A and B are shown apart, each in its own frame.
Chain A
Amino acid sequence: MGDLKEQVQPQKAFGWAARDSSGVLSPFHFSRRATGEKDVTFKVMYCGICHSDLHMLKNEWGTSIYPLVPGHEIVGVVTEVGSKVEKFKVGDKVGVGCMVRSCRSCDNCANDLENYCPKMVLTYEAKDYDGTITYGGYSDNMVADEHFVVRIPDNLPLDGGAPLLCAGITVYSPLKYFELDKPGMHVGVVGLGGLGHVAVKFAKAMGVKVTVISTSPNKKKEAIEHLGADSFLVSRNQDEMQAVTSTLDGIIDTVSASHPLLPLIGLLKTNGKLILVGAPDKPPELPIFPLLMGRKIVAGSMIGGMKETQEMIDFAAKHNISADIEVIPIDYVNTAMERLSKADVRYRFVIDVGNTLKSNS
């Protein structure tokens, strides 16, 4: 789709895009729609780099349309609001996450589950209802319907808060929905990356005991001393895993790479829940006996609705939770992507869009 004509719309925009599945990003001039009556337009200050951005840039899921401007952990300052906008005004600090539209009339939308609406539109690389392709937050400005904009409280840092818009809600939503948020419970977090480290922070703030389960023994010190996890398990160490059989009320599994589920199911107590938020390419095996013998559950979850995204942001602000980030200038983004593919980041890159994305760079 390399010959997709640039859609000409009224508001000029500038960002970085990939032109093909090499995924290499470079400057890109494009445009956004005029601020509609329900729209909020904001100057982008920061945008988090989510692993999904990397998957999409390289067309790993086979759905990418180029040129592709990624970014769905976007924060900034409002510059214009439409005539019917009620919740925001110029100067407000706001954010946009993974979606920018839904049908607003189906059961899911009516139940604040816009993320499960069959007609939900993703923040980038999706076809909006007017036929235009959406572009994400590696860009200088953003226009979005106010329903899909969240307020960033004053005491939440913009840069550290940006990753919450995807990583944060992706782990917060299942902790709440699957009721793994009760003080005194014991929850495992598999994988200590962008999602995993935020899951540890949220769970601790909920009063939950947290065990990090990881393949990398060298993450142990950080997990316990810096993130506040109560314990750390090396998943390849069978003795360690055996010792904690049947101790967990739930597990949030953030790992996208293929991995066996049987050892994780063994860690769960009776009625325990394994929640998958990463998406491996190949379907793993589902061992049935352990599921039956302990009345255990394997479930999935995907981001969250707008109401709970705002709730999550407010919860984070209240508990002083933000992501651990490495702020980078826009022209470092390709190097950042290479490092991200090797999980070489503690724990999220955030692009300093406001200070480094200039249209003559």
Chain B
Amino acid sequence: MAKSPEEEHPQKAFGWAARDNSGTLSPFNFSRRDTGEDDVTIKILYCGVCHSDLHTAKNEWGVTSYPVVPGHEIVGAVTAVGNNVNKFKVGDKVGVGVMVDSCKKCNSCHEGLENYCPQMILTYNSFSRDGTRTYGGYSDIVVVDQNYVLRFPENMPLDAGAPLLCAGITVYSPMVYYGMNQPGKHLGVAGLGGLGHVAVKIGKAFGLKVTVISTSPKKENEAIDRLGADSFLVSTDPAKVKAAMGTMDYIIDTIAAVHPLTPLLCLLNVNGKLVTVGLPEKPLELPIFPLVMGRRLIGGSNFGGIKETQEMLDFCAKHNITADIELIRIDEINKAMERLAKSDVRYRFVIDVGNSLSKVDQNAQASRLFYFAT
């Protein structure tokens, strides 16, 4: 008989989980494996709230197994290391991102592209090698193989740095891979949310001219004055789109909802590249003429490998790039999810796990509890 989440493993753990596709989160007792020889045990201090957490909590992609503890922008302090661990010691500030394991044997793993390994294991809502579910960072501790743990740069604030572990690498990786980092070139960033605002900052650090492409005119001042974008284009204004046709070399498309690609593709120059990192629930319509008539490409990208995630963190630390965040307590998570669904956040919620998630708040009953923000 399968063991309950509380009994599966030796180390007690506590977090908040969704139990069904309402997506509502509530206290959840579970357990983590012992610190194995290659493992690092981490006391979680902060965890970013990624839009994927919301998609998964509500089973919008149809692949959720409940109960699910989301969270893959995890920052904390090392509390124990296994005998073989040579990269970290107790007390180190570390991060865990979107994955916690891979096969380590295939070409992708050997090339530092563990994120494309067919046996890659996600930080939450996946199966570990021992057959148990993986639970994410909306929790007090996590145990991870040292090869999937990132060193947090000294000068990077833990709370504002947490979102880089997913949002940051998700835009940094394709910007490097697709060569969208040549100084002086023109980058369009479609969508100004968690991913988009980090893409603007990284784009500026690469020396690019950056235009934010958005459906919301009221984001313009913020985009330019606060984030440093060079210009702002309202994509639903046909005259403005027409005037900007063929002016961009690259576009990072961070939009999570279904949206037309034609206006974006037409903004690109010949040989232009549109990289999509948002995950809409349904397929998009592919306009062929703009691709063929201008040798343009649409590429996908899925977060990044460990080596490049570390590189991204170090790059961001060097350029003082962190996410713009709204810090919340764990009991505010459901309200935050509602606001996230309406894109009402500038630009990432981060859960102050260390200060707000404790067993004292835990209710021993298995029934769901609703905490209202005060």
Q: CB within 8 Å of B: which residues of A?
A: 107-108, 113, 116, 118, 177, 261, 270, 273, 276-277, 279-280, 283-302
Cβ-closest 4 pairs across A and B? A300-B291, A291-B300, A300-B292, A299-B297
Q: Say yes or no: A288 contacts B276, CB within 8 Å.
A: yes
> Known contacts A116-B294, A302-B293; is A292 also within 8 Å of B286 by CB?
no
Contact A270 B108 (CB under 8 A): yes
Name, among A113, A118, A289, the residue most crowded by chain B CB atoms within 10 Å (CB to CB): A289
Q: Which of B244-295 contact A (CB under 8 A)?
A: 246, 261, 270-271, 276-280, 283-295
Interface flag for B116 (CB, 8 Å): yes
A-B residue pairs in contact (CB < 8 Å), sample of 6: A286-B261, A288-B276, A288-B280, A292-B300, A293-B116, A297-B297
Could you say which residues of chain B place their CB within 8 Å of the CB of A299?
291, 295-298
Partner of A287, one of B271, B277, B283, B291: B283
Q: Which residues of A contact B334 (CB under 8 A)?
A: none
Q: Of A286, A291, A292, A300, which contacts B295 at CB under 8 A? A: A300
* Interchain nearest-CB distance for B34 vs A (Å): 32
List chain B residues, Cβ under 8 A from A287. Answer: 283
CB-CB under 8 A for A270 and B300, given A276-B292, A289-B279, A300-B293: no
The answer on a CB contact under 8 Å between A283 and B286 is yes
Q: Interface of B with A (CB < 8 Å)?
A: 108, 113, 116, 174, 177, 246, 261, 270-271, 276-280, 283-302
Do residues A293 and B295 form an inter-chain contact, with CB atoms below 8 A?
Answer: no
In the bound complex, do residue B294 and residue A283 qualify as a contact, i.e. CB atoms below 8 Å apart?
A: no
Whether A297 pairs with B301 at a CB distance below 8 angstroms is no
Q: Complex formed: what's the CA distance from A285 to B286 in Å?
A: 6
Q: Of all chain B residues, which has the CB nearest A113? A: B270
Q: Which of B246, B271, B294, B299 contacts A291 (CB 8 A)?
A: B299
Which residues of chain A are near B296, meaning CB under 8 Å? Answer: 299-300
Roughly how many angstroms separate A177 CA and B292 CA in the complex, as a whole number? 14
B283 close to A286 (CB less than 8 A) = yes
Given A108-B270, A299-B291; 20 other pairs, CB 8 A cutoff: A116-B271, A270-B108, A283-B286, A283-B288, A285-B284, A288-B279, A288-B284, A289-B279, A290-B300, A292-B300, A292-B302, A293-B116, A293-B300, A295-B301, A296-B299, A297-B299, A298-B286, A299-B296, A300-B293, A300-B294
Q: Are A292 and B277 in contact (CB under 8 A)?
A: yes
CA–CA, A118 to B293, complex, Å? 10
Q: Which residues of A contact B295 (CB under 8 A)?
A: 116, 177, 299-302
Q: Are B294 and A292 in contact (CB under 8 A)?
A: no
CB distance from B111 to the nearest CB of A (A): 9
Say yes or no: A296 contacts B288, CB within 8 Å: no
Q: Main secondary structure on chain A at its contact with chain B? A: mixed
Across-interface contacts of B291 in A (CB, < 8 A): 276, 298-300
Are A285 and B285 also in contact (CB < 8 A) when A292-B300, A302-B295 are?
yes
Q: Which residues of A contact B278 (CB under 8 A)?
A: 288
Give the nearest-CB partner of B177 in chain A.
A295
CA distance in complex: A113, B293 (Å): 12
Query: Contact at A292–B287, with CB atoms within 8 Å?
Result: no
Cα–Cα, bound, A58→B277 (Å): 41
Are A284 and B298 in contact, CB atoms less than 8 angstroms apart?
Answer: no
Question: For the complex, what is the distance from the CA of A194 to the CA of B288, rounded to whole Å?
Answer: 20
The reply to whether B301 and A292 form a contact with Cβ atoms under 8 Å apart is yes
Task: Please tell me which one of the listed residues B283, B298, B300 contacts residue A285 in the complex, with CB atoms under 8 A apart.
Answer: B283
- State whether B300 touches A288 (Cβ < 8 A): yes
Cross-chain contact B294 with A293 (CB below 8 angstroms): no
Give min CB distance, A48 to chain B, whole Å: 20
A177-B295, A300-B295 given as contacts; is B300 within 8 A of A279 (CB)? no
Contact A292 B276 (CB under 8 A): yes
A177-B295, A276-B292 known; A294-B300 Cβ under 8 A:
yes
Chain A residues within 8 Å of B285, by CB: 283-286
Beyond A292-B279, A295-B302, whether A300 also contacts B284 by CB under 8 A is no
Q: Are A270 and B116 touching (Cβ within 8 A)? A: yes
Chain A residue nearest in CB terms to B115 = A295
Does B270 lie within 8 Å of A279, measured CB to CB?
Answer: no
Chain A hits for B294, CB < 8 A: 116, 300
Q: How far is the CB of A174 from chain B (nearest CB, A)?
A: 8
List of B residues within 8 angstroms of A107 by Cβ: 270
Q: Bound state CA distance, A273 and B178, in angstroms? A: 13
Write the chain B residue with the least CB distance to A286: B286
Docked complex Cα distance between A327 and B145 (Å): 67
Q: Which residues of the other chain, A, contact B276 by a CB distance below 8 angstroms?
A: 288, 291-292
Q: Are B270 and A116 in contact (CB under 8 A)?
A: yes
Chain A neighbourhood of B290, CB < 8 A: 300
User: Which of B113, B246, B261, B288 meets A300, CB within 8 Å?
Assistant: B288
Contact A280 B302 (CB under 8 A): no
- The residues of B that contact A300 with a CB separation of less than 8 Å are 288-297
For A177, what are the chain B residues with a Cβ–Cβ distance below 8 Å?
A: 295
Q: Kindly name the residue among A283, A288, A290 whose own CB sees the greatest number of chain B CB atoms within 10 A.
A: A288
Q: Which of B108, B286, B289, B300 touches A261 (beta carbons < 8 Å)? A: B286
Contact A286:B284 (CB < 8 A) given known A270-B116, A301-B292: yes
CA distance A166 to B224 in the complex (A): 46
Q: Within the complex, what minimum Cβ distance (angstroms) separates A64 from chain B?
A: 17
Known A-B contacts A108-B270, A270-B113; the reply to A291 vs B288 at CB < 8 A is: no
Residue among A287, A295, A299, A302 with most chain B CB within 10 A: A295
Bound-state CA distance A297–B300 (Å) is 7
**With contacts A295-B302, A302-B295 known, is A283 near B270, CB below 8 A?**
no
Nearest CB in chain B: distance from A268 CB, A? 11
- Distance, CA A291 to CA B287, complexed state (A): 16
Cα–Cα, bound, A261→B276 (Å): 17
Contact between chains at B286 and A279 (CB < 8 Å): no
Q: In the complex where A285-B284, A287-B283 touch, is A279 in contact with B298 (Cβ < 8 A)?
A: no
Say whether, besides A295-B116, A301-B292, A283 and B287 are in contact (CB < 8 Å). yes
User: Of B297, B300, B302, which is in contact with the most chain A CB atoms at under 10 Å from its CB?
Assistant: B300
Select which of A279, A285, A293 is within 8 A of B289 by beta carbon. Answer: A279
A298 partner residues in chain B, CB cutoff 8 A: 286, 291, 297-299
Flag if A293 contacts B302 (CB, 8 Å): yes
Residue of B nearest to A284 (CB): B286
